[in-house]
């Protein structure tokens, strides 16, 4: 059985088990005896995320053997990422203005949600204010580490690790080949070891997904609130579905690959993104699928995917656009056309600074709303409105983020002539060979 089917079965069984344990009132049993296996899996993926970025980027850049090729790949990657993010924001704004989900919220529902999630909303506002106080160019300052070992000790500092690694890789290109050969051989071998670690970790993926979803469903409270927010949630889900359709359409017209080819190749990474809500945790699997199952050369995938996990947040940007307008609709805070253009610009910049970890999109949403001049008291109520359904939507938008990384890797690979046939056509054959 292919890996994506195993993971899908694990997801379905996890949801059913979560519903059963919830009905039996066995939340403590799930938290104590099932959830830890999912937590261990996420920690394993995060464990190899930083080493993977370092070795794959250095290997990819050194394999180019020409600094001009690196600049071409880098420029095209950034431009395509910006364009897809703008498309995502536009889709979100178009849908929320067309459907107007905020108009369906009653004052009673607003009051109930505000009371239930007021504490969580306040903590996110404080996090956003701390980030804004650093200044408009702070993201450039934060990009440059003053200690690479300290930067590599936390996944939140992934952009700093990428900066150092790119600088290291470029320097490796600029010295004589006989001087760089030993370093290059070391990182080539190191890369193979890391990829083998990913293979071993992925053997446990279906069981880990079961544990994660069983725990999520068992811990979910007050399903009635989810019903009240259904129209908002469906607007976000519809936008995310359109965004995935946009990706497969782009891939079909520019690479000639059919949607089934792309979706089948990336599906294990999508399912893990859904389960973990973290682009960073999913990065090792995303890179493995892009390289070995979608046919993108290692030197392209090893640059595009880590950069995408850090700055490409199409699903998060779409969600921010929908959520910002929804909150303003529900609380009768009028938005002009200029205000909605402000959402486009702010959401684009916020997506670059958004960490690839669960819940980071909510902090960025505060910055988007604040740019519109939304008062603090309305801001707190607005965030409280959407907290009830944020977790499942976070899972879905992370799936879109990861899908976008893979799609852009294929587009960049095609544009530089580095998109070929997949190295591994069947996951199980991959293990039989070993």
Contact between residue 374 and residue 333 where contact means Cβ atoms under 8 Å apart: yes
pLDDT band at 237 (very low <50, low <70, confident <90, very high): very high
Crossing angle (nearest 10°) for helices 259-276 and 390-415:
140
The label of the residue with tokens 């609380």 reads 331
Q: Is 248 a residue whose pLDDT tops 90?
A: yes
pLDDT at site 408: 95
Average pLDDT over residues 48-66: 81
Cα distances (Å, whole numbers) of residue 39 to 54, 121, 371: 24, 25, 36
**Residue 92's closest CA among 365, 294, 283, 276?**
365
How many CA atoms within 13 Å lie on the side-chain side of 278?
21
**Residue 351's closest CA among 43, 78, 49, 50?**
78
Helix, strand, coil content of the chain in percent (nearest 5): 85, 0, 15
The label of the residue with tokens 């890996």 reads 3
How many CA atoms within 13 Å lie on the side-chain side of 102?
21
Tell me which range, 36-40, 237-241, 373-377, is most confidently predicted by mean pLDDT.
237-241
Query: Three-state SS for 26?
Result: coil
Q: Which of 125-134, 282-291, 314-323, 386-395 has the lowest mean pLDDT?
A: 125-134
* CA separation for the pair 434, 45 (Å, rounded): 21
**Residue 413's closest CA among 286, 263, 299?**
299
Q: Which of 95-99, 222-226, 426-430 has the lowest mean pLDDT?
A: 426-430
pLDDT at site 425: 52
Query: Pick the residue with more confidence: 406 or 418?
Result: 406
Outline where DSSP puts E strands in 187-251.
none
Crossing angle (nearest 10°) for helices 107-132 and 376-387:
110
Q: In the predicted model, what is the mean pLDDT of the chain? A: 81
pLDDT band at 433 (very low <50, low <70, confident <90, very high): very low
Q: Is 93 a residue whose pLDDT tops 90?
A: yes
Identify the H or E element spanning 412.
Answer: helix 390-415
Query: Three-state SS for 154?
Result: coil
Q: Is 6 a residue whose pLDDT tops 90?
A: no
Contact between residue 422 and residue 298 where contact means Cβ atoms under 8 Å apart: no
Q: Any residues with CB less than 8 A from the CB of 213 and at least 6 apart, and which?
A: 10, 11, 14, 15, 18, 275
- Say which CATH number the domain at 50 has: 1.10.3860.10
Contact between residue 403 and residue 285 where contact means Cβ atoms under 8 Å apart: no
Residues linked to residue 419 through DSSP beta bridges, in sequence order? 296
Contact between residue 284 and residue 45 where contact means Cβ atoms under 8 Å apart: yes
- What does the chain come to in residues? 434
**Cα 118 → chain centroid:** 26
Q: Is 409 a residue whose pLDDT tops 90?
A: yes
Using CA of residue 285, residue 290, residue 294, residue 297, what is the dihedral sign? negative
* CA separation for the pair 356, 361 (Å, rounded): 9
Average pLDDT over residues 282-294: 90
Q: Is 100 a residue whose pLDDT tops 80?
A: yes
The label of the residue with tokens 């879905």 reads 396
pLDDT band at 407 (very low <50, low <70, confident <90, very high): very high
Q: What is the pLDDT of residues 318-344, one digit of tens each?
A: 988 998 898 888 887 788 888 888 888
Q: What is the pTM of this model?
A: 0.79
* CA separation for the pair 430, 432 (Å, rounded): 6
Counted domains in the chain: 1
pLDDT band at 357 (very low <50, low <70, confident <90, very high): very low
Q: Is 403 a residue whose pLDDT tops 90?
A: yes
Show the tokens assigned to 280.
Answer: 């960073």
* 8-state DSSP, 419: B
Domain that holds residue 428: 3-433
* Cβ-based burial of 114 (10 A; exposed 0-12, middle 13-18, buried ≥19): middle
419 — phi, psi (to 5°)? -120, 115
């Amino acid at each position: 059985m292919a890996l994506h089917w195993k993971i899908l079965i694990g997801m379905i069984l996890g949801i059913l088990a979560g519903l059963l344990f919830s009905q039996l009132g066995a939340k403590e049993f799930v938290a104590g005896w099932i959830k830890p296996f999912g937590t261990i899996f996420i920690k394993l993926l995060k464990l190899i995320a930083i080493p993977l970025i370092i070795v794959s980027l250095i290997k990819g850049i050194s394999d180019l053997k020409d600094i001009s090729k690196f600049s071409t790949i880098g420029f095209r990657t950034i431009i395509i990422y910006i364009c897809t993010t703008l498309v995502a924001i536009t889709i979100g704004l178009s849908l929320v203005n067309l459907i107007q989900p905020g108009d369906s919220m009653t004052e009673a529902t607003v009051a109930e949600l505000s009371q239930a999630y007021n504490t969580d909303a306040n903590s996110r506002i404080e996090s956003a204010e701390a980030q804004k106080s650093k200044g408009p160019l702070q993201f450039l300052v934060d990009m440059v580490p003053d200690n690479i070992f300290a930067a590599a000790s936390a996944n939140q500092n992934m952009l700093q690790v990428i900066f150092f690694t790119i600088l290291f890789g470029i320097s490796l290109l600029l010295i004589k080949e006989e001087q760089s050969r030993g370093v290059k051989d070391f990182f080539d071998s190191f890369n193979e070891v890391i990829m083998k670690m990913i293979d071993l970790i992925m053997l446990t993926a279906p069981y880990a997904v079961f544990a994660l979803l069983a725990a999520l469903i068992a811990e979910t409270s007050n399903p009635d609130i989810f019903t009240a927010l259904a129209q908002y949630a469906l607007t976000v889900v519809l936008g995310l579905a359109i965004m995935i359709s946009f990706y497969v359409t782009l891939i079909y017209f520019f690479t000639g690959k059919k949607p089934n080819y792309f979706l089948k190749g990336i599906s294990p990474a999508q399912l893990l993104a859904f389960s973990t809500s973290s682009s960073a945790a999913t990065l090792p699997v995303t890179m493995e699928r892009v390289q070995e199952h979608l046919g993108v050369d290692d030197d392209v995938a090893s640059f595009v995917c880590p950069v995408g996990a850090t700055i490409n947040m199409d699903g998060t940007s779409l969600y921010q656009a929908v959520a910002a307008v929804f909150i303003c609709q529900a609380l009768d805070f009028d938005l002009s056309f200029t205000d909605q253009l402000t959402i486009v610009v702010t959401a684009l910049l916020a997506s670059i600074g958004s960490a690839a970890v669960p819940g980071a999109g909510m902090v960025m949403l505060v910055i988007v709303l604040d740019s519109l001049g939304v008062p603090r008291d309305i801001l707190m109520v607005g965030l409280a409105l959407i907290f009830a359904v944020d977790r499942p939507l976070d899972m879905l938008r992370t799936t879109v983020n990861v899908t976008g990384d893979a799609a852009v890797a294929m587009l960049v690979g095609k544009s530089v002539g580095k998109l070929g046939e997949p190295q591994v056509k069947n996951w199980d054959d991959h293990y039989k060979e070993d």
